[in-house]
Structures are given as structure tokens and as C-alpha cells.
Amino acid sequence: MNYELIGITVLWTFLYGYLIVASIDFGAGFFAYYARMKKKDHIINDLISRYLSPVWEVTNVFFVFFFVGIVGFFPATAYYYGTALLIPGSVALILIAIRGSFYAFNNYGSRDSTFYLFLYGATGLLIPASLSTALTISEGGFLDEVDGNVEFLAKELFTSPFSWSVVFLSIVSVLFISATFLTYYADRADDQQARKTLRQFALFWSMPTIVASLLVFMS
């Protein structure tokens, strides 16, 4: 086994870990805001807070390690992705910073603020949407090398059915994964009322996830 294969195996393991843990976190933000709007926050938000308290601090460790590792193991990726990820990467970093501020304000005096909870829920959907463009770009057709310079073909990306299918899949799959895990977590905590509500969320988002997967496959 060569070093490249070992490196990419380790990196993909960390990326997979980030996708699962972050999906639960991102979806939980949306469900927390939705529950507040539907006056059901007393049912599931305490459960969500109990789960997120020990987890959110280490979620982005997987994310940071992956990007540091991929540039370290495969420096050429920085050459190709540097320009392409400038816009979506910057948007994702801003959203992650906003999401991180929610935790600070939530713990220090703004726990009942609907506005901060809205930002928490909205960023939970926008972050995976912006990050999914990296996977789309990796499929090819959105970068062009001219005279030694890599050009990002933004028009092709934003008008590609495949690109929007991946964005749609990233959003609905986050909600499905999160609802499914939180249902399991509620069952383990013997919180039957929260389990019933979250199970309804999981069943609801299962169909859009299947449809989005088919759209990506057909694109």
C-alpha cells in the first residue's frame, strides 16, 4: 500500500466522520427553530441541547483536519481548488462563524432569542449547500486551465442541473440524517414525546432524500 492511498483513506475517514456528525448538528438547528415556530420547542429543544453541548465543540475538528491534510498530502489540490472554492469557501466560513456565535450567545444571555435561533437554523441548511459545491466541482467540467492559470467556470456550475441536484440532496439528507439520529437519541433517553415528534420528521424527510438521490444519479 503506497503513501497516497494511506493518506486519502485517512482523509476520507475524517471527511465521512464530519459529514455524519455535522449533518446531525446542522439538521438539529433547523428542527430547533422549526419547533420554536410551531410551539413545540418544549418537546425537542431540551433534547437537542443535551446532544449538542458535548458535540459541537469538536465537530469542526474533522473539517479542519481534512482540508489541512489534503493540502499537506496532495499539494496540487490547492492549485486547482484555490480559485474554485474562493466564493463558496468564503461563504461557508462566514456561515460557520455566524453559527459559532450562536453557541456563545446561547450560553451567555440570549438563550430565548428567536433571531439567534433563526440564524442557527438557517446556517444549518446553507452551510452544507455551499460546501456541496466542492464535491460538484470535483466531478469535472467546472475548471479550465488556460496559460497555466486555473479558471473557475461559475456559469457552468450555477446552470448545471447536476450541481443543483447535489445542493438539494445535501440539504434534505442533512435533515433526514439528523432527524433519524435524534429519534434514536430520544429513544435512548426514554423521551417518548420527543421520539414521536422526531420520528415524524425522519419519515417526512426520507422521501425527499430518495428523490434527490435519484436526481443526482440521473444528472
Looking at the DSSP bridge assignments, the partners of residue 144 are 151
174 CB burial (10 A radius; 0-12, 13-18, 19+): buried
The domain limits of the chain are: 3-218
User: 218 pLDDT exceeds 90?
Assistant: no
Q: What is the structure's pLDDT at 172?
A: 94
Burial (CB < 10 A; 0-12, 13-18, 19+), residue 10, is middle
Phi-psi region of 146 (alpha: psi -120 to 50; beta: other; left: phi over 0): beta
Predicted local confidence at residue 56, as pLDDT: 61
User: Which pTM does this prediction carry?
Assistant: 0.85
126, 132 in Cβ contact below 8 A?
no
- The yes-or-no verdict on residue 207 having pLDDT over 80 is yes
Residue carrying the nine cell digits 466541482: 137
Is the distance from CB of 53 to CB of 111 less than 8 angstroms? no
Report the b/e string of 107-136 with b at 16+ CB within 10 A: eeeeeeeeebbebbbbbbbbbbbbbbbbeb
Average pLDDT over residues 101-129: 75
**Structure confidence at residue 204 (pLDDT):** 92
**For residue 194, pLDDT beyond 90:** no
Indicate the average pLDDT of the chain: 81
Give the residue from 67, 81, 70 showing the smallest Cα distance to 8.
Answer: 70
In the predicted model, is pLDDT for residue 54 greater than 70? Answer: no
Q: What is the pLDDT of residue 108?
A: 57
The answer to whether residue 195 scores a pLDDT higher than 80 is yes
Helix (H) / strand (E) containing 81: helix 76-84
